[in-house]
Amino acid sequence: MGQFDQSPMFAGELAFLSNFDQTPFLMPLLDAEVASAEHAFNALKTVDEDQQHHVLEAPTPGESKRRGRRVPLRPGWDAGVRVWAMRQVLTAKFAVPALRYQLVRTEGRVLVETNHWHDQYWGSCFCPRHEQTPGMNMLGELLMVIRARHRSTT
């Protein structure tokens, strides 16, 4: 796995970093409490309020992801809006004091969502095909930016 050998998947003690973590939080852009970051992110994929509600009402993060794959995408989604959306979601999620505290406690760790499902954009896949090529790790990068911001304000 190269440079990410010491960075586990967002499981165990780091499960709170996963977008599938089910700690509810207020998502101001949606004017709603959301069940997970996955719910919020997938709802933000669209500007259609009915579709947003459909995604937010999903019983699990996995179902919200499936529903989010069927919504009409917000303009500019693939041209950087998705990174903006994820940053908004993570900012709202880590406004929850207990989650913010846990995030700040990861100081010194490189945060990488290692995976085996070939996600080289948000994380870094460690399957045989990808293990020699680290992913972009956008989720981990955003988490570390938010962590640094919280560290400087605590």
Domains in the chain (CATH in brackets) are 9-153 (1.10.357.40)
pLDDT band at 7 (very low <50, low <70, confident <90, very high): very low
Does 108 or 90 have the greater pLDDT score? 90
The DSSP code sequence of 7-66 is ---S-GGGGGGSTT----EEEGGGTEEES-HHHHHHHTT---HHHHHHHHT-SSHHHHHH
Residue 4 has pLDDT above 70, yes or no: no
User: Among 83-87, 89-93, 112-116, 140-144, where is mean pLDDT lowest?
Assistant: 112-116
Q: What is the pLDDT of residue 8?
A: 52
| Distance between first and last Cα of the chain | 34
- The C-alpha atoms of residue 101 and residue 5 are separated, in whole angstroms, by 25
**Tens digits of residue pLDDT in 61-100:** 999 999 999 999 999 999 999 999 999 999 999 999 999 9
- Nearest C-alpha neighbor of 64 from the set 10, 19, 97, 120: 19
Helix/strand/coil for 113: coil
Question: In one letter, which amino acid is 59?
Answer: P
Structure tokens given for 28 = 């101001």
